[in-house]
Every structure is written in C-alpha cells, then in structure tokens.
Chain A
Amino acid sequence: MSEVFTRKHIKLNLDLKDKDAYLRYIAKLSIELGIGKDEQGVYEGLVNREKEFATNLGDGIAIPHTKSDYIIKPAIIVLKPKKEVSWGDDAEEGIRIIISILSLNEQGGNTHIELLASLARKLVDEEFKKTIVNSLDEEELFLMIEQALHS
C-alpha cells in the first residue's frame, strides 16, 4: 500500500497570497503526488468543508480536509507558510502550519481512517502542537507527524 505520509508531502517556506491560495495549492499538490485525480474537485471539496465551519484549531494550526471520490489515495499534506495566514474566521492568531487530510469516499476497509484518527487525537496535545507549529525542520516535522499517525 502506498504511504499516507512521506517527506514529499511536506512543503516548507511557502509564500502564497491567502487561505484560498493555500487550498488551491493543496489541490494542485494532490494531483502531483498522485493523491487526487481532479484538481478542481479536490479544491471544491476543501472549500465546501470550510463553509461548514472553518478548520482553524487555534494555536496557529489549520486542518483543511475533504473526503470524496476525487481522492484516490488517502494522504496527509503538511504546509508551512513563511508568514501567518488568516483562516477567514474570527480567530485572532494566524495559521503557521496547515495539515491537510485527504480521504477516500469509501465505506469499509477503513484502515487509513485509524491513522487519521490517531493524528487527530494527537492534535489536542499541547506539547505536540507547540512543536509542530514552531518547527521549520522537515525531518522533525516528518518524524513527529509520522509518529502521531501510528500512535
């Protein structure tokens, strides 16, 4: 089985215009990495999910996610913007790390959901959050998140 999360899924030092540009970037990256099969479909999935309620977790973390037929391989994508990004809600702090969760629209055979659930559970851990928000080191981010997926 292909990996849910690899070093290629981490992009540091990004300097995009705004939240929308980051969502578009995730969609584009999903095609390049063989995660998604329709860039516009993935993008719209992310946008529509944000409309339900913004995925800003506070503490500088956002978790845009989508589950759809446009995703062909479940994956985590991690982006580090160079400067804080406003996530379009009333949160005061900007976003310093974007963890995007991309999932298939299938029932049953959901082993990947367990990985995603492990990561989600870790996202209420203050120490974990602090480390990933502040880290600018690809290897550290990779190991932290990889470990969280398998915790």
Chain B
Amino acid sequence: MSKKIIALCACPMGLAHTFMAAEAIRKAAIEMGYEVKVETQGADGIKNELTAADIRDAEIIIHAVAVTPLGMERFEGCEVYEVGLQEVIKNPKGIIKEIEEDLAQ
C-alpha cells in the first residue's frame, strides 16, 4: 500500500485558494506516488471530510489554511504541517519534499 498524504484547505472567502491548494496538493501527491485525500472547507461547506481513519493512516498531514478551520480537535496529538496557501499553490512538490526531509530526520 502506498503512503498517504491528507490535507485540509480553507481560505477567507472559500471561493478560490481553498480549491487551488487542494488541487495542487492532490496532483503533486499523486505524481509523487502517494495516496491522497484532501478536505476542503470552502463556501460550499465541508467537502471530502477527513475521517479518524484517514488521520490515523496518514504519513503526512498538511493544513493549508488562512482561517481557523472547523474540526481541529480531530488532529489533536498529530503531527501537522502548516503551510501557506500561496506557497503550496505555487510549489506543492517542493513543500511535500521538505516535509519528507523533515520526517526522515
């Protein structure tokens, strides 16, 4: 089974950056050989919600948020990498690589 990345994306209006970040992470993760699931908290509410099992099984947990998202208690006790929305939209692979390097230490 391939390793899994999960992410949560949320931005002020929930119209654009949330979905751009979600897609950027999804594409990069797949190209890098990961299984991936991304929850969006946009103007259409919570989509693709991360479950306890998703969080338990994830190798890497990313929060790309510019607002405080709902359901933060799900991540208590987990190692969460917080990244900027703009950064992850521009350079998703670079950010995942940095996280990989950090985990390898």
Q: What residues make up the interface of A, taking CB atoms closer than 8 Å to B?
A: 49, 52-53, 55, 57-58, 63, 65-67, 101, 103, 110, 113-114, 116-117, 120-124
- The answer to whether B13 and A123 touch across the interface, beta carbons within 8 angstroms, is no
- The answer to whether B20 and A67 touch across the interface, beta carbons within 8 angstroms, is no
Q: A122 CB to closest chain B CB, in angstroms?
A: 8
Contact of B22 among A52, A55, A66, A121 (CB under 8 A): A121
Q: How large is the interface on B (under 10, 10 to 19, 20 to 34, 35 or more residues)?
A: 20 to 34
- The answer to whether B24 and A124 touch across the interface, beta carbons within 8 angstroms, is yes
Q: Name the CB-closest residue of A to B44.
A: A113
- The answer to whether B89 and A124 touch across the interface, beta carbons within 8 angstroms, is yes
Residue from the set B15, B18, B43 with the largest chain A CB neighbour count within 10 Å? B15
Q: How far is the CA of A121 from the CA of B42 in the complex (A)?
A: 13
Mark each residue of chain B from 1 to 38: 1 if its CB lies under 8 Å from any CB of chain A, else 0: 00000000000111111111011100100000000000
Q: Which residues of B contact A122 (CB under 8 A)?
A: 23
- Given A49-B12, A49-B13, A65-B13, decide whether A121 and B43 contact each other with a Cβ distance below 8 A: no
The answer to whether B74 has its CB under 8 Å from any CB of chain A is no
Q: Which residues of B contact A52 (CB under 8 A)?
A: 12, 66
Q: Name the CB-closest residue of A to B17.
A: A120
Q: How far is the CA of A110 from the CA of B23 in the complex (A)?
A: 20
Q: How far is the CA of A14 from the CA of B44 in the complex (A)?
A: 33
Q: Name the CB-closest residue of B to A64.
A: B16
Q: A50 CB to closest chain B CB, in angstroms?
A: 11
- Given A66-B13, A103-B15, A124-B89, decide whether A117 and B24 contact each other with a Cβ distance below 8 A: no
